[in-house]
Amino acid sequence: MAFWKFTALRLGLVALFFAACVWLGLGLVLSAIVGAILAWCVTYLFFRDMRDAAARTVQQRFHGNNPRTTNRVERDDAGAEDSLLDKHPDVQINSDRRPRSES
């Protein structure tokens, strides 16, 4: 949640600075560049705690010790494999291997 709050803050500041620069007549491209740079500077200088919380959120999400998340299709496939093994225990399932290409 901290990541999304920080992202919304930064995007809001970009939009605010962009609109101010366009109003001042800097042009669209220069306004976009100036807006992005000013938003980065403001969030870097004045929102350190929020930036650090967002960084921790991203780090926790991509850290190697977290359990792997699965989607519905992967869970359905695992359930189908388990039910097949329950009915036919002599069947071997090698889902980690790629199928051999026939040449």
Summarised one tens digit per residue, pLDDT across range 55-92 is 998 888 887 676 667 788 888 887 887 787 778 777 77
- pLDDT above 80: residue 101: no
Predicted local confidence at residue 95, as pLDDT: 65
Predicted local confidence at residue 102, as pLDDT: 63
Q: What is the mean pLDDT of residues 38-52?
A: 94
Q: Which helix (H) or strand (E) holds 78?
A: helix 72-87
Tell me 103's DSSP state.
-
Q: What is the 3-state secondary structure (H, E, C) of 2-55?
A: HHHHHHHHHHHHHHHHHHHHHHCCCCHHHHHHHHHHHHHHHHHHHCHHHHHHHH
Tell me 97's DSSP state.
S
Tell me the pLDDT of the chain averaged across its residues: 86
The distance of Cα 20 from the centroid of its chain, to the nearest Å, equals: 30
- pLDDT above 60: residue 53: yes
